[in-house]
């Protein structure tokens, strides 16, 4: 790029410098002799030598540009030689993926044409450049660890959705997912890869070999004697399955791992520009090193770490000349990564806090001062992209030094206010996936991560003491085991300290982004962040079906914890300044946020249904209670014509885009491929350009565009809109009378809190459940190892062969457990640590308080988004089931009170008429059912206020026909289990010998009946004359139906089993049959409970319904006894078949239930008689 004329004009016009070098007076800058010495010192060669005598002429600012041109021109000769086509390579010098060769629709390609996401069963794509001679290398950055085949292919290879790279004779591939290499046939090769790894693909066309490296470590030669000769040229290529993703580096950026000897990247590095950039950086360093002492009239060495731009004209004009050449180079990704990022990292290498290195801030000031705005923007964008890539794809080493290094530089850049605001507004959420900065990847291969040195001693528990398990299973640990456990825990602590350093830096980044005091030059960072964060949530909430757009849940978990830490820091900081405000321990989201329209909840379901419906039905309540008036225009229903029009436009758009099926997806991607290239995020360029030509010139807005229009309004909110000002409450507009007039915190923090709750609901809970799998694996292997050791001790000495096999098994299990226990240590520190548990517990309490405040607003409670109730239930479930093996939930502060408040919410809202969604109602019912299965949580239900307990029991006793009744019945059965006749068992007696699938399931907990709730039930049935008959009639109706269905099904099963030609019964039919039997038994138990607690309902003839109820009961019991007791009848024969899936069907459970009813009737008849 030629130097800009502006530089010369600037130096001549602004500073009328003397053109007479012989004058020794000060030139307005410094005297010419000193200036000459200074410029010669600054513009020395990199080796420190002065220029040759020819160049050693008197320097002033008038001839400096000419001098600089000459110094930089020395490298131009080599540039010409590099421009020639490299031998052995065909194709464009800039290597990208070839998106025009028929792969459209099967893949999504990023706009830099280097990142790719699979969007079909098995899509393939190759590069634009091929090689036929010499040694070549390229790198692939693995963004997801699934099924992919990476390697080389020729132009003749034809791929489809079943066959890809490596499945044809002239293509060769490595697959780290299955740890194999492919060339028509397949054999084991290499190591397994993980997201965040880098695969180097090497081809030697002189020797005819192909090899691969993983994170710079050679995996050995994969193929030798590959086909060469006329017409044989090899393209880099990849095949990948749905939603898998990678990014290629053919040489447009510096390769992450050093080149193997003799190998060249497919794309040549910009050598001439590199040399220029390094020279100019050297001159810049010289300016920083050398100071001018004007009074003494000499040059002095300066301490670089404290250098400051103090407005000295001489220094400023010198820097302007350097930046005149340096600026255009800093827009190129290769140079930013290789020159600028390396230099900035070297500044921080001296250690100490980031604040101790103000030089980076000074350099950023210089860039904003001396570079064109578009150049600074491009340079900062490329710098952040390079940092993100470096952070994400750095291997994990024991002290996490690489990750710490890149995060420190990120913090240093974001500390610069102007740079931070530009990056927040345009880059962090729009171009980059900045959430990656808050992720700590989990090592798949613990050896490479150095965990063996960090945790030399491994240990694993033989039993987890989960609530509800037999306590006798927990054995005393031996002295040796205790020593091992303590050594393991010390190793885990060492690991935790190192990870906490990284987490601390990540929280620091978020604190910078949430800064609301940096109002210099526009809006504070926090308000820019808020609008971007809301848009990020919208993309993840609105595109649940489009997996490529979603932020991966493992990133979301880390982001959630860091955001909670930063939020609580600011929340408590505000409390310290404003004592009247609430502390973060008392945080909640006030109910007016849900209905005043200040916060966008997109199209998320509210408790009372859709927002448009609620605005219509509750507009009077909104006006009366909250003084919120709804615009009548908003209430106009969408006509069917509008819907048809939208549908037609969507159909026509889909048809017009069919030639490239990817276009439909490309158009939809507000930010495509979370999974794809590690940094780029905008919709891919070739899709966008192709789509432009296919668009109709005039058409109605599609759904996605409507969303975008709405997003714009969200992004345009100002600080005043959020925080409010005099007479304007901002986000808190429309406070209902039930809500206390209490200062909670800054409004902006309330919106962040609301976003955190939404994030947990989107994918965090699901991920927390997924990661528990590692501890389950440890359990299984520990059991297998124990069994094997017991077998070894019992093995007869004469059976050497068996003994050796058992020893081999023991070795395999021990190695696997060593690996898993170290991996589990990492997961327990990063995901299930005590601090993370406290975060989730804090979130649970936030949701409980928010629901309680919302509930007090009466009908306006319907506006609350459903996810608040979901998060309250799910976070409790996570604390109980996912964190409990590592940390005890009982130790959390205020645990008993929290448990009781959650019980009150479940008891009140499972039958709340304001909640209309069937899914959320079912979830509430299931949560309550699970709650009454465990003694601890059942006691919490018993501690809620009496009127709430009675109200809950009344709702449980409502007639079954009006709602889903199976869960209600199950709750009543659990309250009775342990009191009925022969009903003190945890598992059916005939199933005791078989091992349960999961002993922690609610249905497999020991009986824990509630006499208090039984007493409430008895009082209700006795006192309410209408309740008992309607409830019991519905129970008898359902029992009649369930038992009849069961008998009908076992008849079909018996007939199918007796057929000679095809002895096959559908497993689903068996499952439904077993369910009908279980329902029949549980309904009989509810009848036994009723007969025991309130026998007069059946036996008091003064009640009008008693005789009818007793007759119906007797009929049903006779039917059951008739079908079940006869020997060799249908029931008996099916039970004796012992079909898988019908294990619970047996004589015992149903007969003891019937006996219990009959015994109580007989006993109570005698008493009444």
Which residues lie closer than 8 Å to 766 by C-beta, 6 or more apart? 553
Q: Flag whether pLDDT at 185 surpasses 60.
A: yes
Q: Where residue 138 falls among pLDDT bands split at 50, 70, 90?
A: very high
Give the mean model confidence (pLDDT) for residues 386-396: 90
**What per-residue confidence (pLDDT) applies to 80?**
47
Q: Flag whether pLDDT at 505 surpasses 90.
A: yes
Q: What percent of the chain has pLDDT over 70?
A: 83
CB 1019 within 8 A of CB 1099: no
pLDDT digits (tens, 9 = 90+) for 564-587: 999 999 999 999 999 999 999 999
* Secondary element (H or E) of residue 290: strand 290-293
pLDDT digits (tens, 9 = 90+) for 339-360: 999 999 998 887 778 777 888 9
Q: Flag whether pLDDT at 613 surpasses 60.
A: yes
Q: Where residue 407 falls among pLDDT bands split at 50, 70, 90?
A: very high
Q: Flag whether pLDDT at 404 surpasses 60.
A: yes
**What per-residue confidence (pLDDT) applies to 460?**
83
Least Cα distance to 588 among 794, 740, 779, 469 occurs for 740
pLDDT digits (tens, 9 = 90+) for 239-271: 999 888 899 999 999 999 988 888 999 999 999
pLDDT digits (tens, 9 = 90+) for 918-976: 899 999 999 999 888 888 999 999 999 999 999 999 998 888 776 778 888 888 988 88
Q: Flag whether pLDDT at 649 surpasses 90.
A: no
pLDDT digits (tens, 9 = 90+) for 538-566: 888 876 666 666 788 889 999 999 999 99
- Mean pLDDT rounded to a whole number for the chain: 82
**What per-residue confidence (pLDDT) applies to 102?**
66
**What per-residue confidence (pLDDT) applies to 924?**
92
H helices of 724-772, in order, are 747-759, 765-771
**What per-residue confidence (pLDDT) applies to 664?**
32
Q: Flag whether pLDDT at 172 surpasses 60.
A: yes
Torsion of CA 689, 693, 694, 700, to 10 degrees: 90
pLDDT digits (tens, 9 = 90+) for 416-453: 999 999 999 888 887 678 888 999 988 877 777 778 88
pLDDT digits (tens, 9 = 90+) for 777-826: 888 888 888 889 888 888 888 888 888 999 999 999 999 999 898 888 88
Tokens (6 digits) for 380: 């900062």
**What per-residue confidence (pLDDT) applies to 548?**
63
Tracing tokens 């459903």 back to the chain, one arrives at 866
Which string of b and e fits 477-516 if b means at least 16 CB within 10 Å?
eeeeeeebeeebeebbeebbebbeebbebbbbbbbbbbbb
CATH superfamily of this structure's domain 77-270+639-698:
SPRY domain (2.60.120.920)
> What's the whole-model pTM score?
0.86
pLDDT digits (tens, 9 = 90+) for 1079-1113: 999 999 999 999 999 888 888 888 888 889 999 99
**What per-residue confidence (pLDDT) applies to 635?**
64
Q: Flag whether pLDDT at 666 surpasses 90.
A: no
How buried is 924 (Cβ within 10 angstroms: 0-12 exposed, 13-18 middle, 19+ buried)? Answer: buried
CB 782 within 8 A of CB 774: no
Which residues lie closer than 8 Å to 1119 by C-beta, 6 or more apart? 1043
**What per-residue confidence (pLDDT) applies to 397?**
83
Where do the structural domains in the chain lie, given as residue ranges?
1-74+273-309, 77-270+639-698, 604-637+856-943, 945-1169
**What per-residue confidence (pLDDT) applies to 1098?**
87
Q: Which residue has the higher pLDDT, 1054 or 76?
A: 1054
Q: Where residue 1017 falls among pLDDT bands split at 50, 70, 90?
A: very high
DSSP 166-210: TSSTTEEEEETTTTEEEESEEEE-S----TT-EEEEEEETTTTEE
Least Cα distance to 595 among 576, 578, 618 occurs for 618
pLDDT digits (tens, 9 = 90+) for 689-715: 233 333 333 344 444 444 444 444 555
> How many whole angstroms separate alpha carbon 607 and alpha carbon 611?
10
Q: Where residue 68 falls among pLDDT bands split at 50, 70, 90?
A: confident
Tokens (6 digits) for 109: 């390609």
H helices of 393-468, in order, are 401-414, 417-426, 451-454
> How many whole angstroms separate alpha carbon 1155 and alpha carbon 1091?
12
> How many whole angstroms separate alpha carbon 195 and alpha carbon 146?
9
> How many whole angstroms separate alpha carbon 858 and alpha carbon 914?
9
Query: Phi and psi at residue 39, in whole multiples of 5°?
Result: -65, -40
């Amino acid at each position: 790029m030629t130097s800009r004329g502006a530089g010369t004009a600037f130096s001549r016009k602004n500073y009328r410098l003397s053109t007479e070098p012989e004058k020794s007076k000060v030139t307005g800058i410094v005297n010419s002799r000193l200036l000459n010495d200074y410029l010669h010192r600054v513009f020395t060669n990199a080796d420190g030598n002065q220029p040759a005598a020819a160049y050693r002429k008197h320097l002033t600012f008038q001839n400096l540009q000419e001098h600089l041109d000459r110094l930089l021109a020395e490298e131009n000769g080599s540039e010409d030689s590099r421009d020639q086509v490299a031998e052995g390579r065909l194709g464009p010098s800039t290597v990208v993926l070839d998106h025009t060769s028929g792969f459209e629709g099967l893949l999504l390609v990023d706009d830099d044409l280097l990142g790719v996401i699979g969007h079909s069963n098995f899509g393939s794509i190759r590069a634009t450049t091929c090689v036929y001679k010499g040694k070549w290398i390229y790198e692939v950055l693995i963004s997801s660890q699934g099924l992919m085949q990476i390697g080389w292919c020729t132009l003749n290879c034809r791929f489809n959705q079943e066959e890809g790279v490596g499945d044809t004779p002239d293509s060769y591939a490595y697959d780290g997912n299955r740890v194999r290499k492919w060339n028509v046939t397949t054999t084991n090769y290499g190591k397994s890869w993980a997201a965040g790894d880098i695969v180097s693909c090497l081809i030697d066309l002189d020797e005819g070999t192909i090899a691969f490296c993983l994170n710079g470590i050679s995996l050995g030669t994969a193929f030798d004697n590959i086909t060469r000769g006329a017409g044989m040229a090899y393209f880099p290529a990849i095949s990948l399955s749905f939603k898998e993703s990678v990014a290629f580096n053919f040489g447009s950026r510096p390769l992450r791992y050093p080149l193997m000897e003799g190998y060249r990247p497919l794309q040549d590095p910009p050598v001439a520009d590199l040399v220029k950039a390094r020279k100019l950086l050297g001159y810049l360093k010289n300016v920083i090193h050398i100071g001018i002492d004007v009074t003494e009239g000499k040059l002095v060495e300066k301490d670089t770490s404290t250098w400051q731009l103090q407005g000295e004209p001489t220094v400023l004009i010198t820097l302007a000349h350097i930046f005149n050449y340096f600026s255009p180079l800093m827009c190129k990704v290769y140079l930013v990564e290789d020159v600028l990022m390396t230099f900035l990292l070297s500044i921080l290498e001296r250690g100490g806090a980031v604040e101790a290195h103000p030089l980076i801030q000074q350099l950023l000031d210089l860039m904003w001062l001396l570079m064109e705005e578009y150049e600074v923007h491009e340079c900062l964008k490329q710098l952040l992209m390079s940092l993100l890539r470096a952070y994400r794809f750095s291997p994990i080493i024991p002290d996490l030094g690489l990750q710490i290094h890149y995060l420190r530089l990120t913090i240093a850049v974001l500390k610069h206010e102007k740079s931070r605001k530009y990056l927040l507004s345009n880059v962090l959420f729009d171009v980059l996936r900045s959430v990656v900065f808050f992720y700590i990847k989990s090592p798949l291969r613990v050896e490479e991560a150095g965990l063996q040195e960090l945790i030399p001693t491994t240990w694993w528990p033989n039993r987890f003491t989960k609530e509800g398990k037999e306590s006798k299973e927990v054995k005393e640990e031996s002295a040796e085991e205790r020593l091992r456990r303590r050594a393991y825990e010390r190793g885990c602590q060492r690991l935790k300290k190192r990870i906490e350093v990284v987490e601390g830096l990540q929280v620091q980044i978020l604190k910078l982004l949430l800064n609301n005091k940096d109002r210099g030059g526009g809006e504070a960072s926090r308000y820019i962040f808020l609008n971007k964060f809301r848009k990020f949530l919208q993309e993840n909430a609105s595109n649940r079906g489009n997996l490529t757009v979603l932020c991966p849940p493992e990133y979301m978990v880390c982001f959630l914890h860091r955001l909670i830490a930063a939020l609580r820091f600011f929340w408590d900081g505000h409390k310290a300044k404003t004592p009247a405000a609430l502390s973060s321990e008392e945080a909640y989201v006030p109910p007016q946020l849900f209905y005043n329209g200040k916060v966008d909840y997109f199209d998320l379901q509210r408790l009372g249904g859709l927002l448009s419906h609620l605005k219509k039905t509750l507009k009077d309540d909104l006006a009366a209670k909250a003084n919120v008036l709804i615009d009548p225009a908003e209430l106009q229903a969408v006509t069917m014509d509008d819907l048809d029009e939208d549908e037609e436009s969507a159909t026509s758009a889909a048809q017009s885009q069919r030639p490239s099926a990817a276009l439909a997806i490309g158009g939809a991607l507000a930010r495509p491929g979370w999974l794809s290239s590690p940094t780029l995020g905008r919709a891919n360029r070739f899709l966008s350009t192709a789509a432009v030509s296919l668009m109709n010139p005039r058409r109605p807005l599609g759904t996605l565009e409507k969303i975008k229009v709405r997003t714009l309004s969200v992004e345009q909110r100002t600080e005043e809109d959020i925080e409010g000002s005099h007479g304007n409450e901002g986000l808190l507009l429309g406070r209902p009378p039930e809500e206390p007039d209490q200062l909670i915190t800054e409004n902006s923090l309330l919106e962040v809190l609301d976003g955190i709750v939404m994030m947990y609901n989107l994918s965090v809970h699901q991920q927390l459940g997924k990661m528990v799998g590692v501890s389950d694996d440890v359990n299984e292997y520990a059991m297998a190892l124990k069994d094997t050791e017991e077998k070894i001790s019992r093995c007869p000495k004469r059976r050497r062969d068996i003994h050796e096999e058992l020893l081999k098994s023991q070795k395999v299990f021990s190695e696997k457990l060593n690996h898993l226990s170290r991996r589990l240590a990492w997961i327990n520190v990063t995901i299930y640590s005590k601090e993370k548990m406290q975060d989730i517990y804090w979130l649970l309490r936030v949701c409980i308080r928010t629901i309680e405040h919302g509930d007090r607003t009466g009908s306006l409670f319907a506006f609350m988004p459903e996810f608040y109730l979901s998060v309250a239930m799910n976070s409790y479930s996570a604390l109980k089931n996912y964190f409990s093996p590592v940390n005890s939930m009982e130790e959390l502060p205020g645990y008993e009170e929290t448990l009781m408040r959650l019980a009150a919410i479940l008891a009140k809202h499972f039958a709340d008429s304001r909640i209309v969604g069937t899914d959320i109602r079912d979830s509430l019912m299931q949560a309550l059912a699970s709650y009454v299965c465990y003694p601890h949580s059942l006691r919490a239900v018993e501690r809620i206020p009496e009127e709430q307990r009675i109200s809950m029991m009344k709702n449980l006793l409502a007639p079954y026909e009006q709602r889903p009744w199976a869960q209600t019945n199950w709750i009543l059965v659990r309250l009775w289990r342990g009191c009925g006749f022969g009903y003190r068992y945890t598992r059916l007696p005939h199933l005791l010998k078989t091992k349960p699938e999961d002993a922690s399931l609610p249905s497999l907990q020991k009986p824990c009946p509630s006499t208090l709730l039984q007493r409430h039930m008895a009082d209700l049935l006795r006192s309410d004359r209408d309740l008992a008959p309607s409830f019991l009639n519905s129970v008898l109706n359902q029992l009649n139906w369930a038992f009849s269905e069961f008998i009908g099904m076992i008849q079909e099963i018996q007939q199918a089993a007796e057929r000679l030609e095809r002895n096959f019964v559908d497993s689903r039919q068996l499952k439904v049959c077993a369910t009908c039997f279980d329902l029949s038994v549980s309904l009989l138990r509810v009848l036994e409970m009723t007969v025991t607690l309130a026998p007069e309902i059946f036996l008091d003839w003064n009640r009008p319904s008693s005789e009818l109820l007793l007759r119906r009961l007797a009929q049903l019991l006779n039917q059951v006894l008739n079908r079940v007791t006869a020997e060799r009848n249908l029931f008996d024969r099916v039970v004796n078949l012992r079909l898988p899936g019908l294990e619970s069907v047996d004589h015992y459970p149903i007969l003891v239930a019937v006996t219990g009813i009959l015994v109580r009737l007989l006993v109570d008849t005698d008493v009444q008689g």
